[in-house]
Amino acid sequence: MAYLDNITDNSVLSAGARVEDYFALLKPRVMSLVVFTALVGLLLAPGGVNPVIAAISILCIAVGAGASGALNMWYDSDIDKVMSRTANRPIPAGRIVRDHALALGLVLSAFSVALLGLAANWLAAGLLAFTIFFYAVIYTVWLKRSTPQNIVIGGAAGAFPPMVGWAAVTGTISLESCLLFLIIFLWTPPHFWALALYKQSDYGAANIPMLPNVAGNRATQQQILVYSIVLFAVSLVPGFIGFMGPIYMVTALVTGAAFLGFAVVLFRTREDKPMRKAGRALFAYSLSYLFLIFFAFLADHGARLMGWI
Amino acid sequence: MQTPVPPNSDAEFLARRRRRSVALAVTLFVLVAIFYALSIVKMGIR
């Protein structure tokens, strides 16, 4: 484990660290997806909420997600250093010392949870605290390095934000918010396994037991296809139970069929190079898929409110 | 003031991280417990 050699600990200050480096600790790209899905949960929730409270709630969820990111980077700095995708993160690149990330993560966790509790309600705050706990401890510390099912279970952490947004308005957990959770939860495995297929050597070098490294490419392709089929079916449920209307259903059908198409193409490839290419294509499309389907939730809801459908 | 000594081995690094992970887990768990207790109390009052 010579890669630990260059990792500084709390012996020096983060000399030369810029604000951007601390901001990068919060994983802004992940944060943007979290903010968007949480906003959808918040806007779909019945009852309405004061815009200031809504803005504070979204800020708290964003900061809470950022705190999880900082805690993840604190713990994973050793493996981040050996993976090309993560080697330039602030800690492995030597721009920030590890303990600063830990302190930042803890302070922001407490701040975001407490503020959400005071501004919205204790249930939303409890859910946010659980989300941070789940991502930082259950996923990062425990599951990530111990089981190929790491991102299946850990995916729950990324699926909670719309439930938190919903709970911030209603103070409850409902079937509808559980469906929002389920869509992200089922989306996560094909998304990350597609990434793992074309970044296999990275994960192998870092000794992370991702499914392709442990069970092989074929098993991963099969699992991706199975999850894609289940995701497609579950994404239609909001329409079947009357939670969503035609705008959502058409979008879910079209984007879900395309998702399934990418998964089938990946499933049918055997050669290494085309498989990586298909994995990369599915990974890229899956990001658009999640955005489109959550945007469809908003569009359908908005059209109903305006009386257009 | 004593300058903290950087870890000089993998074992030391891992042991230190393990101790801090436990502390982190306990801290976050307490945070979760506090807010769930508060939400339960609030629901009970209703």
Q: pLDDT tens digits for A153-163?
A: 999 999 999 99
User: Using 50, 70 and 90 to split pLDDT, how confident is the model at A14?
Assistant: low
Closest-CA residue of chain A to B41: A122
**Residue A98 above 80 pLDDT?**
yes
Q: pLDDT tens digits for A125-149?
A: 999 999 999 999 999 999 999 999 9
* A275 in any annotated domain: yes
Count of the separate structural domains present in chain B: 1
- Tell me which chain A residues have a C-beta less than 8 angstroms from the C-beta of B4: 9-11
Answer whether 0.80 is exceeded by the pTM: yes
* A201 in any annotated domain: yes
Residues of chain B numbered 1-46 and touching chain A (CB < 8 Å): 3-7, 10, 13, 16-17, 20-21, 24-25, 27-29, 31-32, 34-36, 38-39, 41-42
Q: pLDDT tens digits for A182-199?
A: 999 999 999 999 999 988
Q: What is the number of other CB atoms lying within 10 angstroms of the CB of residue A2? A: 7
Count of the separate structural domains present in chain A: 2
Residue B36 confidence (pLDDT): 86
Element (H, E) at A160: none
Q: pLDDT tens digits for A267-288?
A: 999 999 999 999 999 999 999 9
Percentage of chain A modeled with pLDDT above 90 = 86
Residues of chain A numbered 90-109 and touching chain B (CB < 8 Å): 102, 106, 109
Nearest alpha carbon to residue A73 among A113, A103, A35, A107: A103
Q: What's the CATH code of the domain at A279? A: 1.20.120
SS3 A275: helix
Contact B31 A133 (CB under 8 A): yes
Contact A110 B31 (CB under 8 A): yes
* B24 in any annotated domain: yes
Q: Residue A121 is encoded by which pair of tokens?
A: 């309600």
Residue A15 confidence (pLDDT): 63
C-alpha A18 chain-centroid distance: 26
Separation of alpha carbons A131 and A133, rounded Å: 5
If you average pLDDT over residues A74-88, what whole number do you get? 92
The distance of B21 to chain A (nearest Cα, Å) reads 7
The distance of B19 to chain A (nearest Cα, Å) reads 12
Q: What's the CATH code of the domain at A61? A: 1.10.357.140
Q: pLDDT tens digits for A227-265?
A: 999 999 999 999 999 999 999 999 999 999 999 999 999
Separation of alpha carbons A61 and A35, rounded Å: 7
Are residues A130 and A72 located together in one domain of the fold? Answer: yes
* A129 in any annotated domain: yes
Q: pLDDT tens digits for B12-27?
A: 889 999 999 999 999 9
Q: pLDDT tens digits for A207-226?
A: 899 999 999 999 999 999 99
* A1 in any annotated domain: no
The dihedral built from the CA positions of residue A233, A296, A223 and A152, taken in this order, carries a sign that is negative
Interface-testing mutation among A76, A118, A141, A207, with chain B (most B C-beta atoms within 10 A): A141
* Domain span at B45: 12-46
- Tell me which chain B residues have a C-beta less than 8 angstroms from the C-beta of A126: 32, 35-36, 38-39
ipTM here = 0.79
* A141 in any annotated domain: yes
Which residues are within 8 A (CB) of A152 and not within 5 positions of it... i.e. 6 or more apart? Answer: A188, A189
Separation of alpha carbons B25 and A136, rounded Å: 8
Are residues A259 and A139 located together in one domain of the fold? Answer: no
- How many residues comprise chain B? 46
User: Using 50, 70 and 90 to split pLDDT, how confident is the model at B39?
Assistant: confident
Q: What is the number of other CB atoms lying within 10 angstroms of the CB of residue A161? A: 31
In this structure, what DSSP letter does residue A227 have?
Answer: H
Separation of alpha carbons A177 and A169, rounded Å: 12
* A211 in any annotated domain: yes
The distance of B6 to chain A (nearest Cα, Å) reads 6
Q: What is the mean pLDDT of chain A?
A: 93
**Residue A32 above 60 pLDDT?**
yes
Residue A196 confidence (pLDDT): 93
What is the CA angle A158-A132-A191, rounded to 5? 20
* Domain span at A30: 17-173
* A190 in any annotated domain: yes
If you average pLDDT over residues B36-43, what whole number do you get? 81
* B4 in any annotated domain: no
Residue A54 confidence (pLDDT): 96
Are residues A161 and A244 located together in one domain of the fold? Answer: no
The distance of B15 to chain A (nearest Cα, Å) reads 12
User: Among the three residues A152, A173, A194, which one is the final residue of a domain in this structure?
Assistant: A173
Q: Are A173 and A225 spatial neighbours (Cβ–Cβ below 8 Å)?
A: no
Q: Are A106 and A129 spatial neighbours (Cβ–Cβ below 8 Å)?
A: no
User: Using 50, 70 and 90 to split pLDDT, how confident is the model at A13?
Assistant: low
Nearest alpha carbon to residue A309 among A43, A299, A252: A299
* B2 in any annotated domain: no
Are residues A169 and A181 located together in one domain of the fold? Answer: no
User: Among the three residues A173, A191, A218, which one is the final residue of a domain in this structure?
Assistant: A173
Which residues are within 8 A (CB) of A25 and not within 5 positions of it... i.e. 6 or more apart? Answer: A66, A69, A70, A73, A89, A90, A91, A96, A101, A104, A105
User: Among the three residues A123, A154, A173, which one is the final residue of a domain in this structure?
Assistant: A173
Higher pLDDT: B9 or A174? It is: A174
